[in-house]
Amino acid sequence: MTCAARPTLSAPRIAIAGAGIIGLSCALELARRGATITLYDPNTPGRGASWAAAGMIAPAFEAASEPGVHPKLFDLCLESARLWPGFAARLEADSGKPVGYAPGPSLAVAADPATARHLDGILNTLAKRGLPGDRLDVDAARAVEPSLSPDLLGALRLETDGHVNNRAVVSAFLLLCERHPSITLEPTPAPLHSRGSTLDSDGHDLILVTAGWQSGALKVTEHGQQVSLVNWDISLDEIDTYGGQMLSVERRADHPATTLRAGPIYMVPRGSELVIGATMEPGRTTGMPNTDDIAGLLSDAAQIVPSLADARITSTWSGVRPGTPDFAPFLGRTRQPNMFVAAGHYRNGILLTPITAQIIADQMLGAEPGDLAGAFAPSRALPAQA
Ligand SMILES: Cc1cc2nc3c(=O)[nH]c(=O)nc-3n(C[C@H](O)[C@H](O)[C@H](O)COP(=O)(O)OP(=O)(O)OC[C@H]3O[C@@H](n4cnc5c(N)ncnc54)[C@H](O)[C@@H]3O)c2cc1C
């Protein structure tokens, strides 16, 4: 596809494809800055991955950067975590609804020596950056969270990591978008058309793709045929799917009041429930939660918190994390000059919502990306797929 001239409008009309937490938050930020938005979603807004998530705001877990992970992902996560307190406060003030933001600390616990070494690695990285983190023996950890098993090897107290009720956040955003005079919600797929060498969405000046794991599946009408949007920007084809199953249990007084992490298992208090997650299933996109997998998650959680052994399950569900080859989102202008993307947030989409809305609004309204934002351009070099 060839390129059209770059539009430089101060109050553009923008079509946004996808009303998950990313599309909703970008819509609101852009509308607050003067843009007129049409937000398209053929499904119930906010009920994709953004509903399925646990709501952890956990930058420290990107500190122990693993091979292949974007080298600046930790910086992006930290920056977004710093924005969360003000972001949550404004969302609550504007919507009149609580969103359950808790700034931390959380505890990462070790039940085996390998996990204990992993926690030491995170602590080292945090220390090098001057960030707080305390290594606790099991008694000190149990003083913070009495429900923990006495058999654990210890914990890492993470001041930077907290949680939010992601479902309340999505509901608050939806309310604000519905109320905003410059935002229209359309219950249809984004209408995308090929017009000669350019892409058009019903005459909007700019297009923003925020369809999560389905971003690469969007279709464009060209000469009466439905062709893939990937033809306009190949990076969209790089977003893979990572299914995750979760459950919630009725939260009793002897269950955790603190967000806990133990290797791949985590527990997050959400009102009268405790959310327990999650499986990580590359390639999985659909399906009901599997009884054995859910029982496995609960049994693993009960190794960490013994009182969970007889917990009452209140709900089970699954969702799909959208992952790029370097596990960091695509943020910014695509090869098609009037099209931008904010997708591929993998396991950090809730954490990264404030910084994403800011970066996207800045760039769509004409600012050049700074060093940090520029590092997440969709055109960046990516590691080879395994
Ligand atoms: C089990 C699980 C646990 C997680 N836990 C956490 C966590 O604790 N902390 C954290 O930070 N992140 C977590 N995540 C990751 C986070 O949920 C995602 O990164 C984030 O929700 C992605 O948001 P999104 O708006 O891009 O996608 P989604 O919420 O999936 O929204 C995409 C929207 O696009 C719509 N759409 C699809 N096709 C079209 C089309 N053609 N036109 C228009 N719209 C379309 C869909 O209907 C959907 O509403 C978790 C994810 C999962 C699955």
Instruction: Count the Cβ atoms, other than its own, within 10 Å of residue 25.
Output: 27
**Residues 127 and 173 grouped into a single domain:** no
Average pLDDT over the chain, rounded to an integer: 94
Specify the number of domains making up the chain: 2
- Measured in Å, residue 54 CA sits from the centre of ligand 1 at 12
**Residues 40 and 135 grouped into a single domain:** no
**Residues 194 and 223 grouped into a single domain:** yes
In a domain, 39, yes or no: yes
Decide whether any atom of ligand 1 lies within 6 Å of the 55 Cβ.
yes
- Measured in Å, residue 116 CA sits from the centre of ligand 1 at 31
Decide whether any atom of ligand 1 lies within 6 Å of the 344 Cβ.
no
**Residues 228 and 333 grouped into a single domain:** yes
Identify the residue whose tokens are 């389905």: 214
What's the pLDDT at 386?
A: 53
Closest CA to 363 of 343, 342, 384, 385: 342
Closest CA to 100 of 23, 29, 170: 170
Q: Assess whether pLDDT exceeds 50 at residue 31.
A: yes
Each residue's pLDDT tens digit, 235-290: 999 999 999 999 999 999 999 999 999 989 999 999 999 999 999 999 988 778 99
Residue 1 banded pLDDT, cuts 50, 70, 90 = very low
Taking the alpha carbons of 175, 245, 278, 328 in that order, is the dihedral positive or negative? Answer: negative
Average pLDDT estimate for 315-324: 97
Residues of the domain holding 22: 13-56+168-239+325-374
**Residues 224 and 245 grouped into a single domain:** no
In a domain, 93, yes or no: no
Each residue's pLDDT tens digit, 247-257: 999 999 999 99
Residue 3 banded pLDDT, cuts 50, 70, 90 = very low
In a domain, 221, yes or no: yes
- Measured in Å, residue 47 CA sits from the centre of ligand 1 at 8
Pocket-testing residue among 321, 331, 351, 360, ligand 1, by greatest number of atoms within 8 A of Cβ: 321
Return the CATH number at 332: 3.50.50.60
Hey, whose CA ends up nearest to atom 40 of ligand 1? 189
**Residues 211 and 338 grouped into a single domain:** yes
In a domain, 287, yes or no: yes
Between CA 341 and CA 109 the distance in angstroms is 36
- Measured in Å, residue 327 CA sits from the centre of ligand 1 at 14
Each residue's pLDDT tens digit, 113-154: 999 999 999 999 999 999 999 999 999 999 999 999 999 999
Closest CA to 354 of 52, 70, 92, 85: 85
Hey, whose CA ends up nearest to atom 25 of ligand 1? 20
Residue 384 banded pLDDT, cuts 50, 70, 90 = confident
**Residues 127 and 249 grouped into a single domain:** yes
Decide whether any atom of ligand 1 lies within 6 Å of the 210 Cβ.
yes
Yes or no: say if 166 and 55 are a contact pair by the CB < 8 Å rule.
yes
Return the CATH number at 128: 3.30.9.10
In a domain, 65, yes or no: no
pTM exceeds cut of 0.85? yes
Burial degree of 257 (CB within 10 A; 0-12, 13-18, 19+): middle
Identify the residue whose tokens are 């998950």: 20
Decide whether any atom of ligand 1 lies within 6 Å of the 349 Cβ.
yes
**Residues 176 and 117 grouped into a single domain:** no
Pocket-testing residue among 345, 359, 376, ligand 1, by greatest number of atoms within 8 A of Cβ: 345
